[in-house]
Structures are given as C-alpha cells and as structure tokens.
Amino acid sequence: MNPKALYKSGRRVNVPAMRRLIAAVAVLTLVALSGLAAAFYYSATVWRSSSSATVEIPQGSSVQGIAGRLAGAGVIKTPKLFEIAVRLKGYGGRLRAGQYEFPQGTTMLSAIDRLSRGDVLQWPLTVIEGWTVRDIAGALAGKAFVSDEGMPDEFFRLAFDPKFVSGLGLADAGTLEGYLFPDTYFLTRPTTAAGLIKRLVARFKEVWSTLDPEAVRASGMTEGEIVTLASVVEKETGLEEERPLVASVFLNRLRMGMPLQSDPTIIYGLADFDGNIRKSDIRNPHPYNTYVHPGLPPGPICNPGRASLEAVIKPAKSDYIYFVSKKDGSHHFSRTLSEHNAAVSRYQLSRKGS
C-alpha cells in the first residue's frame, strides 16, 4: 500500500473508520434505492384508482402534461413516477391523444399501456340511406365526439366548398351530396368536420370500387350520373327489392325523352318544404325540379346506399314508365298512362276521403 495514501494534511487516515463510513453510505444508498423501488412498485402496480374517470388528452400533450391530467382525475397517484415509467418503457412520444375512460381499479402501468395503444373512447354515428348533407350535419349536433359546437356548420359548409370538394379525388362531383356514404362509423373525440367528411368519402370510394365494373361501363353513364340517379331511386322507395324496378322506370323515361317527374327532386330544391307539394311547387323552375327540366337533376339529391347504386347499373328489365305509391311502402308499376291513372285513383284518390 502506498504510504502517501494513508496521510492527508499531515494526519493519518483511520482506515477502519473510512471503511465503516463507506459501508454506511452504501447501506443508506441501498435503503434509499430500495425505498424508491418500493414506492415505484407500489405506485405502478399496487395502487389503484378508487373510481372511474374520463380524461381527454389534447393533441401535442407532453408526458408531464398527461401525468398532471391523470393525477388530477385520480387515475394515478404520483405524476413524477408516471413520467419515469413512461420513459423507462420507451413510450415518450407514443402516448396518443384522445378521450379515455379509465375504470375503477386502474393501475399506473395499465393506464400507460392504454395510452400507448390509443385505446380511446369511440361513439357510433349512423348515416342513414337517403340522408342529405343537411340531415347528416343536423345529426352531429350534441354528439360526444364533437368538441367544437361549430363543427356541424363547418361540415355543411365544407360539403359545398368547391376547393375542398376538388381535393377529394371524386370524378365529377360538384358537391359532396351523394358521396357521403351511408354506414355506421365509430368516431373518437375530437372529430373534425374535414376528418369526418374524408371518412365518409373514403367509404363511398371503397364501396364504388366493389361494384361490377362491367355493369358500370354497360350503363353508359358517368360516376356522377349513376350517383345522381341512385339518389333519386333512394328517395322514391324504401324497399330494397323495388329499387331495380324504380330504376328501370327512370331509365326507360330517359331513353324516351320523358321527364323523370320525381317528387323528391322538387322537395330537394325547396328552401322551406312543409310536407305538402303544391301546384306552385311543381311549376317551380329551380334546377332540381324534374317536372320542369328534362333529364337528370344537376346532382344527387341525397346520399344513396349500395342497393340503389346497384339498382341503377343493374336495373330490372321492364317496360314500365309509371309507378304510384300504394300507401303501404310499396308501389304499383304501370306501362300505360290509362293503367297509371287507374292505379292513382285506386291507391291515392280513393283514400283522401277515408
């Protein structure tokens, strides 16, 4: 041993005492580390939340910010240990934004796992076949996935914004009426108007891609024309099995140069429809009125489902050119005007006085 190491400032170092000091410091350090480990273990796996909590994590939140929100809601006990755990697991940039439901009894580690998976709350939105853009926008108000009360109005505005519509890659759409596909969607908070529209349009494209391409070509119509006629068919009947017949009537009329004379096209162009079509409405020259204007309306009048799209590209083979409601959800189809007038008298006029 180097003798110089045994002296400091002229004083002999007490080696046994130094060893005892080092040992004591090591013990204290071990105790402290053990205590920290115990606290970490307790906070991470043993301590459990006493009640359920809903917590919204905003986009761009830091780990510290997330820890604060969870602690404030009673989901975790020690925010600092949460931060350490997140970094130890390598999840520093992988905790996802959204609204979460943490059940009673949640541990810190299970909360971290849920955040890393993005296991956010989801709510259903069902877009019904035949709904218009206005109908969909109205259904958004008050939904849990809508965080901005102005979102429904923004949805409606974007659906008719030429610049926004042109960026969605639709073949010949002037607006998004007809291209917001009816289905049930599961949405997270916050859902934006643009984000929702893109989901609905993506679903339309997905369904369109599964239609029989040979039938689409054989129809001789563009995508926009097919969607437009399908929207009229959708509004004319709620019976799926009738749609190919209804489509055949309109296609027969188009071939003959007859006006479609579809009441739903009148209604679509009226600013304030009260449930009754008047003679003045039938004569109203708005662009969608197929009593006044021949051919198809200038665009879809609602958002049709798959059955109506398929009915247009694969219509029934018929020589019907008229149909009238039986007032039970179904229709009577006729080949001649005299037969049609008799059906109107039977199913419509005879019931007005009953």
The 10s digit of each residue's pLDDT in 200-243 is 999 999 999 999 999 999 999 999 999 999 999 999 998 999 99
Preceding peptide of 213 cis, ω within 30°: no
pLDDT at 66: 96
Domain final position from 117, 145, 180: 117
Residue 334: inside a domain, yes or no? no
Please tell me whether residues 221 and 190 are part of one structural domain.
no
**Residue range 277-294: average pLDDT?**
93
Report the range of poorest mean pLDDT among 29-33, 196-200, 346-350: 29-33
Strongest mean pLDDT among 46-55, 123-132, 272-281: 123-132
Please tell me whether residues 203 and 217 are part of one structural domain.
no
Residue 54: inside a domain, yes or no? yes
- Whether residue 154 contacts residue 137, with contact meaning beta carbons closer than 8 Å, is answered with no
Packed helices 243-256 and 223-236: angle between N→C axes, nearest 10 degrees: 120
Domain final position from 96, 117, 138: 117
> Where does the pLDDT of residue 65 fall: very low under 50, low under 70, confident under 90, or very high at 90 and above?
very high
> Where does the pLDDT of residue 354 fall: very low under 50, low under 70, confident under 90, or very high at 90 and above?
very low
| Residue-range definition of the domain harbouring residue 85 | 46-117
> Where does the pLDDT of residue 92 fall: very low under 50, low under 70, confident under 90, or very high at 90 and above?
confident
Q: How far is 334 from 327, CA to CA, in rounded Å?
A: 16
Mean pLDDT taken over the chain: 89
Please tell me whether residues 302 and 248 are part of one structural domain.
yes
pLDDT at 22: 67
For a pLDDT cut of 90, what percent of the chain falls above it? 71
| In the predicted structure, residue 10 carries a pLDDT above the cut 60 | no
Report the range of poorest mean pLDDT among 26-35, 124-133, 228-237, 325-334: 26-35
pLDDT at 255: 96
> Where does the pLDDT of residue 29 fall: very low under 50, low under 70, confident under 90, or very high at 90 and above?
low
Q: How far is 84 from 73, CA to CA, in rounded Å?
A: 19
pLDDT at 160: 97
Please tell me whether residues 197 and 216 are part of one structural domain.
no
Residue type at 307? A
- If one counts every other C-beta atom within 10 angstroms of the C-beta of residue 45, the result is 12
Please tell me whether residues 92 and 131 are part of one structural domain.
no
pTM here?
Answer: 0.81
Residue 237: inside a domain, yes or no? yes
For a pLDDT cut of 70, what percent of the chain falls above it? 86
| In the predicted structure, residue 21 carries a pLDDT above the cut 70 | no
The CA-based dihedral angle spanning residues 184, 188, 194, 198, taken in that order and rounded to the nearest 10 degrees: -40
Domain final position from 83, 117, 151: 117
Long-range contacts for 79-86 (Cβ within 8 Å, ≥24 apart)? Answer: 81/39, 81/40, 81/43, 81/44, 81/108, 82/43, 82/108, 82/111, 82/112, 84/40, 85/40, 85/44, 85/109, 85/112, 86/112
pLDDT at 6: 47
**Residue range 153-162: average pLDDT?**
97
Residues in the chain: 354
**Residue range 185-194: average pLDDT?**
94
Residue 277: inside a domain, yes or no? yes
> Where does the pLDDT of residue 273 fall: very low under 50, low under 70, confident under 90, or very high at 90 and above?
confident
CATH of the domain at 113: 3.30.1490.480
Please tell me whether residues 220 and 287 are part of one structural domain.
yes
> Where does the pLDDT of residue 41 fall: very low under 50, low under 70, confident under 90, or very high at 90 and above?
low
The residue behind tokens 């273990």 is 41
Please tell me whether residues 142 and 102 are part of one structural domain.
no
Please tell me whether residues 274 and 175 are part of one structural domain.
no
Task: Say which residues have a Cβ less than 8 Å from residue 41's Cβ, sequence separation at least 6.
Answer: none
| In the predicted structure, residue 31 carries a pLDDT above the cut 60 | no
Please tell me whether residues 269 and 225 are part of one structural domain.
yes
> Where does the pLDDT of residue 25 fall: very low under 50, low under 70, confident under 90, or very high at 90 and above?
low
**Residue range 21-46: average pLDDT?**
60
What domain count does the chain have? 3
| In the predicted structure, residue 117 carries a pLDDT above the cut 90 | yes
Residue 21: inside a domain, yes or no? no
Please tell me whether residues 288 and 276 are part of one structural domain.
yes
**Residue range 145-167: average pLDDT?**
95
Please tell me whether residues 201 and 111 are part of one structural domain.
no
pLDDT tens profile 342-353? 988 888 875 544
Residue 345: inside a domain, yes or no? no
